[in-house]
Structure 1
Amino acid sequence: MSYHDHSDHQYAKNIRAGAPAAFKAFLAFDQAALSGSDKVIPRKYTELMAVAVALTTQCAYCIEAHTKAAHAAGATQEELAETTMIAAALRAGGSYAHGFMAMKFFDQAEQASVA
């Protein structure tokens, strides 16, 4: 059994049936954010940002859809590679920054055990 099957998107109908108002609102928001008529950011850059977010959230479906959309919008393989490395750096940076919290909690635990 695979957790991610390409055909899993067929289950969107279950979400749509179970929460129709929220589903409709989500689709409208998604459409407005990614390709609304009032967008200032060019489509290629919107899609590259979407790829970066998809890489950090590890959404396989989003990675596929937005990579293909970025290609269609004129993104190059080099731009996709740079986007990938930017996403990796920020993901790693997040771990590093959260390490500050871990160090703080360790210090707090250390101080509590001494008291």
Structure 2
Amino acid sequence: MSHYYDKEDAAYRSQMAKAAPKEFQAFVGLMRVVGIEDGAIPRKYRELIAIAVAHATGCVYCIEAHVKDAKKIDVSKEELSEAIMISSALCAGAAGAHGGMAIKFYDRED
């Protein structure tokens, strides 16, 4: 039986880094965007956005990393919870909007 999301799984990413080094480095560079100290968007809000997106995409590794980083910069549990609930509301809204598309496709005769 498979078990998902083990801490040890991160070691497999090193295999990707070796197999596709340029692409992996581009990915790592992109991931660093969140941790930039106060751009036009302050770091606190960057972390809250990252947490909300991580919940929307379901990346448990991102959730863990960004929650830990957010806690280090004094993001409160209330701010964290609000960001997660906003993400949840938008995901539900997207499902509802796409649900209308499903009905449209169901009703089409083609």
TM-score scaled by length of structure 1 = 0.87
Residue equivalent to 1:83? 83
Who is 1:2 aligned against? 3
Runs (4 or more) in structure 1 with deviation over 2 Å come to: 35-38
Alpha-carbon distance between aligned partners in 1 of 2:75 and 2:38, rounded to the nearest angstrom: 21
> Matched residues in 2 for 1:85 and 1:107: separation?
33
Structure 1 spans left out of the alignment, 5+ residues: none
* 3-state DSSP of counterpart to 2:34: helix
Change (3 A) 1:38 1:48: closer
Given residue 53 of structure 1, which amino acid in structure 2 is its aligned partner?
V
CA RMSD of aligned residues (A): 1.5
Cα distance in structure 1, aligned partners of 2:92 and 2:37: 35
Uncovered stretches (5+) of structure 2, i.e. residues with no partner: none
The count of residues paired between Structure 1 and Structure 2 equals 109
More helix by share: 1
User: Per-residue displacement from partner, 1:75-99 (whole Å, max 9, x unpaired)?
Assistant: 1000011111101101101100101
CA-to-aligned-CA distance 1:5-40 (integer Å, 9 cap, x gap)? 022111111000000010111112222x21346721
Which of the pair has more CA radius of gyration? 1
TM-score (norm 2): 0.91
Does 2:45 match 1:45?
yes
Q: Distance in 2 between matches of 1:39 and 1:50?
A: 15
* 1:1-115 correspondence runs (5 A): 1-31=2-32, 33-36=33-36, 39-109=39-109, 112=110
